[in-house]
Structures are given as C-alpha cells and as structure tokens.
Structure 1
Amino acid sequence: MTAHIHITGASGSGVTTLGAALAARLGAPQFDVDDFYWMPTVPPFTDKRPVAERLALLGDRLLGDKWVLSGSLVGWGDPLMPRFDLIVFLYTPADVRISRLRAREADRYGAAIEPGGVMHENSRAFLEWADRYDEPHFEGRSLAMHNRWLAAQSAPVLRLDGVSTTAEQVAGVIERLGT
C-alpha cells in the first residue's frame, strides 16, 4: 500500500500529534513542515529558510511508499502537491487551540516566555497570530486561506474534528485509505 498523506490545520489543532500517531500506525516516517520552514536558531522560529531550499530539503524526504507530512505548505509548497494521495484537514475551535498552544509554549520554554524572558515577545506575538486564524479577513494563515487552498487541490481532502481523540482521527484516516 502506498500512503502519501499531508495533514494540515491551524497551529494547535493537533496536526503534529495526529501525524505522529498515523505514521506509527502505518509504519511510515513522519515529517514536520516546521523542520524545513525554519532555520535552526536560538531562540527557535525566528529565521525562515528560503523557499527554494525548503522545497529541495522537503522534496528529498518525501520519497518511498509511505510517509506522513504534518504542517502547512500554504503559500509556498504547491510544487509538492502532486505527491499527496490524501490531505487531512483538522479543524479545532480557537479556545481549544489557544489553550493547547499556551500549554505547549509553557512546556517547551518555561520561564523564557514569562515577561522579561528571552522568548516572551516571540511567544506573545505567536499566540496573537494563532488566535486570529478564524478571522475571515486575516491575511496570515487562516481558515479562509486554508479553505481556498484545499478547494484547489487535486488530492482528496478528509476533514476531521480536531477535538476528537487522536485514536478516532487515526481510525478516520485509515477508513478513508481503505486499509
């Protein structure tokens, strides 16, 4: 069986969690878009890789019979779209997403995100950006942008509830794959 699956959604929607669980279930490698989008920096997530470099690095990894790619390629990853057999879109309400993101930021960075910490401003700006996802006219990554992007894809799109358990989400993808 071949399975080339791209999982996308808003930050905090559970994309990476589902990607890891699905990859484990399929015995496939999982790749996270952030590992290709961002340069390794301290603090992290401050310098973007040039698009051509992202595409080359990611394209070299999306080989083989099975893989799962989690994250968002909207706005730069279109050359990779023909490789997808299925696109999974997770939608999670803002209150749940932001709660998850606050907990993740605290787990990852601890006191560094507190006022006066080296990550405080980056964390605050990230959470404000993520909270705008459902705004219809937000020009950053948004639900409206994702919906337009999904409508233009040739691969089938499976929409899942990001509040469902990871096991339920994996079962939904497996059912869609017919395995």
Structure 2
Amino acid sequence: MPSQHILIFGNSGSGKSTLARALAASRGFAHLDLDTLAWLPSSPPQRAPLEAVDAELRDFVKDNTANNCGWVVEGCYTDLLELLSASADHIVFMDLPVEACIANAKVRPWEPHKYLTKAAQDANLEMLVAWIAQYSSREDEFSYAAHRGFYAGFHGRKTIFTENTDLESLEL
C-alpha cells in the first residue's frame, strides 16, 4: 500500500513543493506547505510561535485523518517536521547539490502564497540564492545537518532523492 502521510524536506529550491503538489494531485492528498504556517505576517518576517504552529499542525493531521484522506507536508523547518514525525509513515529528503537548488530557484514559478507579485519574488532572488548556498554551513533548523539528523532519526519508511526526477515514475 502506498504511503498516506508523507513529509518532504530539503534545501530551498530542491523540489519539495513540486513533488508535494504532484503527489497531492495524483493521489487526492491534502497538501500543506509549512511556509504558510511558519511565519507571522510581519515586516521584517518573524517566525510564528511554535505552540501556535503545533496546534495548527495537529488540526491538519486530525482533519485529514478523520476523513481518511492522505496528506503530504513539505518544508525546510526541522522543528516543525519533528512535530509531525509521529504521524508520518514516510519521509522524503530532497538532498540535491546546492548548485541544483540554486538553478531551480532561478527558474521557480511565482509563488502567490508567499509573494504579492512575481516581481516581488524576483526581487528576493539574490537573498534566496545566498541563503541556499549556506545550507551546509548553517547550524539551524533549516540546515543540512538538521535535515540529515531528522532523516537518520526517523523510524518509518524513508527515501532520499539526490536529483530531480520524472515525477510520473515515482512510487512513493
């Protein structure tokens, strides 16, 4: 039986959102991008309190388990992924080279749930590329080290992708 509760994580630009959208569409799963919960609507951006996000995540899991719906959650926030790990039956680590993530970020389509316009998104590209490049050297919940630790500690089904692949051929 295919996995019904999937967490997808990795660096920005690794293909998390693309894979999550494809799985949600092909399987009828609920899809949650953690970016929509992780930040307060403030300038400069501030992380939302962990307790508030935890409550929203529990509601998401409860709502989509009660109606027997599978779900896919994607993001780079190890602290939030850990809150969901007991409910997940499969994790997918998008472990692409930094250069591939940067190339993907440069051609990413407009993300209207994050930016008011494509121009606003493009204005942020230089900062995003610099942030992606720091993936291996950071020591936070968004880092390669945090993602590797999360992957190693998960006791369910696990998959690592080291390149973007044909989504039609995936059997997750």
Question: Same fold by TM (over 0.5)?
Answer: yes
Give the TM-score range, shorter chain: 0.7 to 0.9
SS in structure 2 of the partner of residue 89 of structure 1: strand
- 1:150 is aligned to 151
What letter matches 1:79 in structure 2? L
CA RMSD of the aligned region, Å?
Answer: 2.5
What TM-score results when the alignment is normalised by the length of structure 1?
0.77
Match of 1:62 in 2: 61
- The answer to whether the Cα contact below 8 Å between 1:55 and 1:77 also exists between their aligned partners in 2 is no
Partner of residue 32, structure 1: 33
Separation in structure 2 between the aligned mates of residue 105 and residue 26 of structure 1, nearest angstrom: 23
CA distance in 2: counterparts of 1:111 and 1:86, whole angstroms: 36
Distance 2:96 2:86 in 1: 26
Question: 1:139 maps to what in 2?
Answer: 139
TM-score relative to the length of structure 2? 0.80
CA distance in 2, matches of 1:58, 1:31: 9
Question: Structure 1 unaligned runs (5+)?
Answer: 115-119, 174-179
Equivalent residue for 1:117? none
Of 104, 108, 125, 2:108 maps to: 104
Superposition pairs of residues 49-128 of structure 1, within 5 angstroms: 49-63=48-62, 64=65, 65=68, 66-104=70-108, 109-112=117-120, 120=123, 122-128=124-130
Q: What's the CA shift string for 1:67-113, capped at 9, x where partnerless?
A: 11111331344232110011111122222211221233878654446
- Structure 2 counterpart of 1:165: 166
CA distance in 2, matches of 1:105, 1:167: 20
The aligned length equals: 161
5+ residue gaps, structure 2, are none
Instruction: Name the CA distance, whole Å, in 2 between partners of 1:5 and 1:76.
Output: 14
> If you compute each CA radius of gyration, which structure gives the higher value, 1 or 2?
1
